[in-house]
């Protein structure tokens, strides 16, 4: 989970969801993301899946975001 003041939380959403525009972030907002770790070894290092954003927009998360098209 990433918590913090507006800009950092908003940027994390836009990084995890390309094409999404964040248009509102409360002072105390948060995001939650996860990824699957497939394996870890000394030889191959860490193999992990892509990050997945779990946070939904709305009052509970303090975030307002959506995909906008022309």
pLDDT digits (tens, 9 = 90+) for 8-59: 888 888 888 888 888 888 888 888 899 998 877 777 778 889 999 998 898 8
**Distance (Å, whole) CA 29 – CA 59:** 9
**Distance (Å, whole) CA 31 – CA 24:** 13
Locate 3 and state its tokens.
């918590």
Task: Report pTM.
Answer: 0.67
The pLDDT of residue 52 is: 92
CA dist 53 to 42, 44, 45, Å?
Answer: 29, 26, 24
CB 6, CB 44: distance < 8 Å: no
């Amino acid at each position: 989970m990433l918590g913090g003041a507006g800009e950092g939380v908003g940027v994390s959403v836009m990084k995890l969801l390309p094409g999404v525009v964040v248009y509102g972030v409360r002072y105390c907002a948060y995001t939650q993301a996860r990824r699957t770790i497939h394996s870890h070894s000394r030889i191959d290092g860490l193999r992990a899946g892509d990050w997945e954003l779990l946070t939904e927009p709305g009052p509970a998360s303090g975030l307002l975001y959506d995909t906008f098209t022309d």
